[in-house]
Structure 1
Amino acid sequence: MLSRSAERLYWLARYMERTENTAKVVSVYMNLLMDLPKGVEMGWQQLLRINGAEAEFYEKYKSAGERNVIRFLLTDESYSGSLFSSLSVARENIRTTRELLPDEAWEQVNEMYLFAKNDLETVSNRRSRVLFLKKILEGCQRFSGLLSGYMSHHHPYRFIRLGRNLERADMTSRILDLASLLLSESRSDELRQYETILWMNILTALNALLMYRQHVRSRVKGDDVLSYLLLDKDLPRSVTRCLVEISDCINQLPNNDALSDRVLELEDYVQGIDTREATQLQLRVILDDLQNKLGGLHGHIADNWFSRVMPE
């Protein structure tokens, strides 16, 4: 298998996961804001923090209102992290690796791209935006199902899993980084009153609400949610589960050198995080460090298997 093909499959998976994550987070955030009364300190700029895109956003827009943030995150072709930009790069990666993937996978991504391109202007309207995001989410989930059910689970599929789970772990850590702000002792009494709603929406954003209720079996509390999303070994979007998946892929790929040890070190680091003992400030530092370590792992993967590092 050629190095450039492995790299394209890896980035195909990352960008498709990024497309799904963006659609899911925006959709859930819209529902959250509708659940909260006016005056509660939650605004659209929080979505920019999740994506680490505040500086880039304010280079183009003066205010972080709904219309501007939605345009930036969903349709802005000059922002590499927007939904449409992610989907466009995913389409290009699958176009150049079609011989390694089922025809249905290419057709699915191409149909999603054409749908998004033709309907970009509709996202300014809330009702149309809901339908747009629903269609994108269904397409991403169908794509994942096609690969899982149609592809042999050998090296090409392992690079897809590798990219998907690294991107997924990164997004979970970003959402938890923002969520940790909710533990701040300076939060308002009004925000404290609606804390359960906020944490439920965070679980929903990571497709984890039902599993939380089944396995944690307690009312939704901030510390429990953070611990569950970081440490649970079975939840698909927990950081620990993503690292287990990454480790499994690396161990089955050739020439993995010291990468297995690096992932084990990262797993130990995550398992050592105590969300109940750490202060809110300490937790934010820990989560920032985790994101840097995930970025470092990507760098080692790229150096080990890819001929060059494609821009994120």
Structure 2
Amino acid sequence: TRGTVLREEISAVQEVTDLLTLDARHASRVAPWSQFCHGLQGLETLGALRNSAGTEPNSLFDNSTVLKALNSTNVWWLLTDGEISQGSIERFSVNISRARLHGKACVIILFGHRKPKPEDCNISVGVSLFALVPDCLFLFHDVKTHEVFVLQSKGALGSINNHQSVSQEINDWTTWSDLKTIRYSDFGNITIPEPAKLDAGEVMLQDGSKVSLAQLYRDEINGEQVRTILGNDDNLNTVMLTATARGEANLVEDWLKGQRRLPPEAINAYRVDVEKKAEHCQPYCRQAHELWVSA
């Protein structure tokens, strides 16, 4: 982290913490990290932060003071700008669960220069953490234009996105114009929920119920839980993304293959046609069908 990026990160922290009460600002802490965690510091040290090489988020778990602070808060923020290896991301996902942090509200901000498409940015660490946490916001901060884009949002923090859950995968079709922009001052209107109590191997679904991934892999969850997961795209994304982030994609794929027949509730479940994209596709689908029949 250096130069413009570091200045933008410091500015973002200052903008958010300026929204807090005086007591809350005094209680707030930052934990600078690079290849190593540099310990817990007060907000008054922000101006003294200097460049440091390396991007290893798992270093946060090597510092007992930082880990204790994370466990005692209701919301935490992860700011990053560097390339993170897939192996490191998988370890980070496992460490988050082991530390029982995946029940706490979390805001992830990826800082960088905007590339042609959101998917071209290194968003993997944000996607993996977003999958784990029931109340989460994943942002991209363009350090050149100062714009802040909402990549994904869900749970209580979705209120910053007009109470819309936006947890769909960021893929090759996603453009910057598809994403909403916000200001950090918008956080002044958000109510932070109490942390959810989750075991290391559990994920929370949108209705507040919990599912053990180990039991899911062994196909030991009950029919109601299966319907809850398969009948809701957000729930299915949570399970699949969490498993992928933990390096267990093959296990959840095997479980899905075992669900050979979807229950009627899942097949007929109402799904929101976001921006009427499905409706726009219907004429093309009919045309393709007619061409296929005539052939």
TM-score (normalizing by structure 2): 0.24
Greater percentage in helix: 1
Pick the structure with greater CA Rg: 2
Structure richer in strand, relative to its length: 2
Give the TM-score, by structure 1 length.
Answer: 0.23
